[in-house]
Amino acid sequence: MKCPRCVQRIHRAAASCPHCGFTLADAEARFGATEIHILSLTDNAGILPRGDRGRVECAMRKITLRFPQIFLSIYTCTLGEIADVRQFGFWLLNRSVLDDVAADKSNDAGIFLILDPESKAAGMVFGYLLDPFLDEVDTFECLSRAHAHWLEGNYADGILRCLTHLDLVLQKKSQQAKRKPKFFEQKVSGPARLDGSRNASNAAISGGVIAEVKQEVDS
């Protein structure tokens, strides 16, 4: 995991970035502290004509149907002087309310694609539900599929390519999670604790830690 501001690695449960002290409060100071109401496809930058918009919505709907737990959001805007797609994505994930998404789905089940045609940058962030399954490399692969199209200004085509690859990645990860759930659980579980509350599956995976814990308990 990396800090949205300094892009340094951070601990999975860090309350603030140990390198720069960044928190959501810093992002709110920059982009606003109030919630914003958006649609799952919000084209503030006006880069998607009506026909392209339909194609993109269709692709989004397919993914949402295939993966009932999650939803997709595409947000295009011109960030101007405050352009920092990574921080903006982090803020949007935590401060947006999607009016066309079922109320039982919170933003931690969302995947947000932010596209800024002015600064020519795009980012992808996702909530905690997908935290064990996706990582930076997966999202980067999705974005890189769209790179050539976006270079030429074909935003809709780029988004479609990006979503197609995302669909494949999610299918693969879901199948892997079905086969090896403990592997993914171990990725997000917290550090070992002496009170024995740590679940057995984590202990089974990290054998070295078990030995250490036992020693400490014995002593």
Enumerate residues 146-205 that contact other proteins by CB under 8 A: 147, 150-151, 170-171, 173-175, 177-178, 181, 184-185, 188-190
Q: Give min distance, CB of 34 to other proteins, in A.
A: 15
Residues 71-110 that bind other proteins (CB under 8 A): 83-86, 89-90, 93-94, 106-108, 110
Q: Which of 95, 98, 111 is nearest to 40 (CA)?
A: 98
Binders of other proteins: how many residues, by CB under 8 A?
Answer: 76
Q: How far is 142 from 165, CA to CA, in rounded Å?
A: 6
Q: How far is 95 from 131, CA to CA, in rounded Å?
A: 18
Q: Give min distance, CB of 174 to other proteins, in A.
A: 4
CA angle 22-140-152, nearest 5°?
115
For other proteins, the closer of residues 22 and 75 by Cβ is 22
DSSP 101-144: S-TT--GGGEEEEEEETTTTEEEEEE-GGGTTT--HHHHHHHHH
Q: Give min distance, CB of 218 to other proteins, in A.
A: 29
Determine if 8 is a binding residue for other proteins (CB under 8 A). Answer: yes
Three-class secondary structure of residue 152 per DSSP:
coil
**Residue 89 · residue 124 · CB < 8 Å:** yes
Determine if 16 is a binding residue for other proteins (CB under 8 A). Answer: yes
Local structure of residue 71 (DSSP, 8 states): E
Q: Taking the CA of residue 142 as centre, how many other CA atoms within 13 Å lie in the half-sphere pointing to its CB?
A: 25
One residue of 29, 33, 102, 144 binding other proteins per CB under 8 A: 144
For other proteins, the closer of residues 140 and 214 by Cβ is 140
Determine if 31 is a binding residue for other proteins (CB under 8 A). Answer: no
For other proteins, the closer of residues 54 and 153 by Cβ is 153
Q: Give min distance, CB of 219 to other proteins, in A.
A: 28
Dig out the tokens for 215 from the structure. Answer: 């020693």
One residue of 2, 30, 61, 214 binding other proteins per CB under 8 A: 2
For other proteins, the closer of residues 78 and 214 by Cβ is 78
Residues 114-143 that bind other proteins (CB under 8 A): 119-137, 139-140, 143
How would you class 17 by CB atoms within 10 Å of its CB: exposed for 0-12, middle for 13-18, buried for 19 or more? buried
Dig out the tokens for 10 from the structure. Answer: 């951070």
For other proteins, the closer of residues 41 and 130 by Cβ is 130
